[in-house]
């Protein structure tokens, strides 16, 4: 039996969240989605509030993952402790609240979701994601394992993909907000995409108002970054997984616009 798993790129700002709420469930019905993971770490621009986390979940996400801005809104710590569907990177320090991996039951299957953060060009004292993945894979049994790798360097994402090929069903990258065109199935059956892209304003620089980003690069004072206005896009990928073997059989990129 196949299961179609939808991974949705970083939700940016209130406008991105509104577009997710409007479009996620129709997309799930259209594509026959059995399980959905949404990265929500930029719902407030930097971080997300408990209310925004619940809105993403209520919009149709089975799991909400985070990244380097996980604690951009400090109040999210309590929610991370209270609910199992909200994950922060597992290789963060053990001193921060929450968990980075969970096993969820859907359609009689056990689905492991792992949230990791990269160390290349990210200013965070995170543990080794490769060793962290090894540890998490040794804890509990799952029919399907999914990895959201929140990382800057494409080389680090590709390398972790080869390292985990044959041991996880799918690995996708988040963080850069720009989708890549390298969707594929690795030699040992792992679905892969270097970056999903984002769910947020189309006319923007990574979700931010273009004029502010331009001013910053010109050496000016752009002020506090604000989310761009206008129509939004939802970007991500669908991974088709053979649940009997846990192997991915196909990857389809998604770019949904009004």
Given 69, 150, 175, 177, which residue is catalytic?
Answer: 69
CB atoms within 10 A of CB 30: 9
Angle, helix 50-59 to helix 13-31, in steps of 10 degrees: 20
pLDDT digits 0-9 by tens, 10-30: 999 999 999 999 999 999 999
For the entire predicted model, the pTM comes to: 0.97
- Residues 74-125 have pLDDT tens digits of 999 999 999 999 999 999 988 899 999 999 999 999 999 999 999 998 866 7
- The per-residue pLDDT for 123 is 64
CA 227 to CA 184: how far, in whole Å? 32
Name the residue with higher pLDDT: 31 or 1.
31
Which residues, other chains included, contact 161 with Cβ-Cβ below 8 Å and sequence gap of 6+?
A: 171, 186, 190, 192
Q: Which architecture does CATH list for 2-201+230-256?
A: 4-Layer Sandwich (3.60)
For the segment 113-141, what is each residue's pLDDT rounded down to a tens digit? 999 999 998 866 799 999 999 999 999 99
- Residue 151 near residue 173, CB atoms below 8 Å: yes
Q: Does the active-site annotation cover 69?
A: yes
């Amino acid at each position: 039996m196949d299961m179609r798993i939808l991974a949705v790129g970083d939700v940016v700002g209130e406008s991105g969240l509104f577009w997710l709420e409007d479009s996620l469930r129709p997309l799930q019905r259209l594509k026959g989605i059995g399980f959905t993971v949404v990265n929500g770490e930029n719902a407030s621009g930097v971080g997300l509030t408990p209310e925004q986390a619940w809105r993403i979940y209520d919009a149709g996400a089975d799991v909400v993952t985070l990244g380097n801005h996980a604690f951009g809104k400090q109040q999210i710590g309590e929610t991370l402790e209270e609910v199992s569907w909200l994950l922060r990177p597992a290789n963060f320090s053990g001193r921060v609240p929450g968990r980075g991996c969970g096993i969820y039951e859907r359609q009689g299957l056990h689905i492991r979701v792992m949230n990791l953060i990269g160390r290349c060009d990210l200013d965070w004292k995170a543990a080794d994601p490769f060793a962290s993945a090894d540890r998490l894979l040794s804890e509990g049994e799952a029919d399907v394992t999914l990895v959201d790798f929140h990382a800057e360097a494409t080389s680090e994402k590709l390398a972790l993909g080869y390292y985990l090929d044959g041991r996880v069903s799918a690995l996708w990258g988040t963080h850069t907000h720009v989708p890549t065109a390298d969707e594929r199935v690795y030699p040992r059956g792992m679905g892969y995409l270097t970056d999903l892209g984002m769910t947020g304003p189309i006319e923007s620089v990574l979700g931010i108002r273009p004029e502010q980003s331009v001013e910053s690069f010109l050496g000016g004072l752009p002020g506090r970054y604000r989310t761009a206005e206008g129509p939004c896009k939802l970007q991500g990928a669908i991974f088709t997984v053979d649940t009997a073997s846990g192997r991915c059989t196909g990857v389809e990129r998604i770019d949904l616009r009004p």
